[in-house]
Amino acid sequence: MISIVGTGRVGASIAFLCVSHGLDDVLLVNRTKEKAIGESLDVASAIPADSKFSVRGTDNYSELVGSDIVIIAASVGVYTKDRSENIDLQVKMIKGIAEKTKQYCPSAIVLIVSNPLDVLTYYFQKTSEFPRFKVIGIASSLDTSRFRYYISETLSVPQSSISNALVLGEHGDTMVPIFSGVSVGGNPLFSMIDSRDAITENVRNYWRTLRNYKSRSQFGIAKNTFDVVNAILNKKEITIPASVVLDGEYGEQNIAMGVPVKINQNGVSEIQQIKLDDTESSSLKKSSEKIRNDINSVHE
């Protein structure tokens, strides 16, 4: 069973993809019960005719029993200036959800979607004491989609011609697009742009640009989360950047941060150490410092 905790815009969009692809039974858990039931009734009409799975909504965490995957997309408020804005409330929320997850489905793989993403991934893992490779923060793959989008728009090339685009570090203003490995149509990206600044700024500010036109995003993160659920349940290994609690990788400890990982049916199977140029290495250091400061700023 796939359980989705928090069925606002993002949780409901993830539910729609999981249900309409007939991946598994889906449980929606929301603070306000009516919203969970309403969204479950809506997406239930998207169950394929040949599916053996169903969907239901509840506010009762004890129904998490039997979950193979728990996706957390709950949020107590909307940030407007920075993803870390509601950090104390969000950390309090994630700790509560971590306790319940540990109580009712201690063997589940957990995908964190709520912001501030890296901080919440860290606190979920510490509170639940789940193996660190079973708590995966999904965001850097979304940031990578946005990086690919802006390369494609800047150079007027299709995304299919772009290889090895990757964003690492914080899911926030210090995220680090990795330009040095990117090629476009087989040629290095660096041979086609004067500087990395404009694309980097656009990727970091994607959510701000979007909010000029729509209250907040939902579909990109839903697709990137669905891809991970699909890989886990269908036992297909994928390599994406995702946030994991680090234990020496990239020289970091006691934080979660977006790094390249392999994911299989058991969760993260490997953190890949990739080559970065000097600019990227120092930007990643700044990014990890920002996450560490945020973690330490929390009033528990």
Does position 32 interact with ligand NAP (CB under 6 A)? The reply is yes
264 is annotated as contributing to ligand binding: no
Question: What would the x/- binding string for ligand NAP be over residues 232 to 271, using CB under 6 A?
Answer: ----------------------------------------
Does position 65 interact with ligand NAP (CB under 6 A)? The reply is no
Nearest to 97 by CA among 11, 31, 194, 176: 31
**Number of residues located near ligand NAP, criterion CB under 6 A:** 30
Does position 30 interact with ligand NAP (CB under 6 A)? The reply is yes
The residue range among 23-31, 103-111, 233-241, 284-292 that interacts with ligand NAP, by the rule CB under 6 A, is: 23-31
Active site residue 171: yes
Exactly one of 2, 113, 184, 231 binds ligand NAP (CB under 6 A); which one? Answer: 113
77 is annotated as contributing to ligand binding: no
Exactly one of 1, 35, 146, 206 binds ligand NAP (CB under 6 A); which one? Answer: 35
- Site residues, ligand NAP (CB under 6 A): 5-11, 29-32, 35, 73-76, 93, 96-97, 113-115, 117, 138-139, 142, 171, 216-217, 221
